[in-house]
């Protein structure tokens, strides 16, 4: 069982919600890549996260929708380092940042109107463009 990930005072991911697996990494590294399992596959049970409101849980599901496996768990991988311990820390930090991003409520959009001057300028440009295009036609072509 892994150590819990603390996101804030109220929100934490308990150790039993984390599943850690080490696999062989891809890319350069010579024979080391074929022998040592340094890539980390961290899976998080989203339902077990403590202190997450319904709205934050919904935001997290939206943010992480492409990172969910078939059973609905969040899948985070890290192979940034050749060191397994550093990759574990990196994966845990990615989980923490993802949950922290879900805790931030988006600002409500305030509906605004286009100013009368901006409307007039847009229509003026449209009129000039139409006149320019009208001037490109052959004389007597509209008959």
Report the alpha-carbon distance of residue 14 to residue 6 in Å, rounded: 8
Whether pTM > 0.75 for this model: the answer is no
Contact of 98 with 53, CB cutoff 8 Å: no
pLDDT at 53 over 70: yes
CATH number of 5-103: 3.30.160.20
Contact of 98 with 64, CB cutoff 8 Å: yes
pLDDT at 1 over 60: no
Overall average pLDDT of the 45-56 stretch:
88
Quick: pLDDT tens for 63-105.
988 988 888 888 998 888 888 889 989 999 999 999 999 989 9
Domain boundaries, the chain: 5-103
Burial degree of 97 (CB within 10 A; 0-12, 13-18, 19+): exposed
Work out the mean pLDDT of the chain and round it to a whole number: 87
pLDDT: which is higher, 138 or 94: 94
Q: At what angle do helices 84-103 and 54-63 cross, to 10 degrees?
A: 130
Model confidence band, residue 17 (pLDDT cutoffs 50, 70, 90): confident
């Amino acid at each position: 069982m892994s150590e819990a990930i603390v996101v804030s005072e109220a929100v934490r991911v308990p150790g039993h919600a984390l599943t850690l697996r080490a696999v062989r990494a891809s890319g350069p590294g010579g024979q080391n890549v074929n022998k040592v399992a340094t890539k980390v596959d961290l899976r998080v049970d989203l339902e077990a996260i403590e202190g997450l409101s319904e709205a934050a849980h919904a935001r997290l599901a939206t943010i992480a929708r492409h990172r969910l496996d078939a059973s609905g768990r969040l899948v985070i991988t890290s192979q940034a380092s050749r060191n397994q311990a550093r990759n574990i820390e990196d994966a845990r930090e990615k989980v923490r940042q993802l949950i922290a991003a879900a805790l931030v409520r988006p600002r409500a959009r305030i509906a605004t109107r286009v100013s009368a001057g901006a409307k007039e300028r847009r229509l003026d440009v449209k009129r000039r463009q139409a006149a320019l295009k009208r001037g490109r036609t052959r004389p007597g072509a509209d008959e």
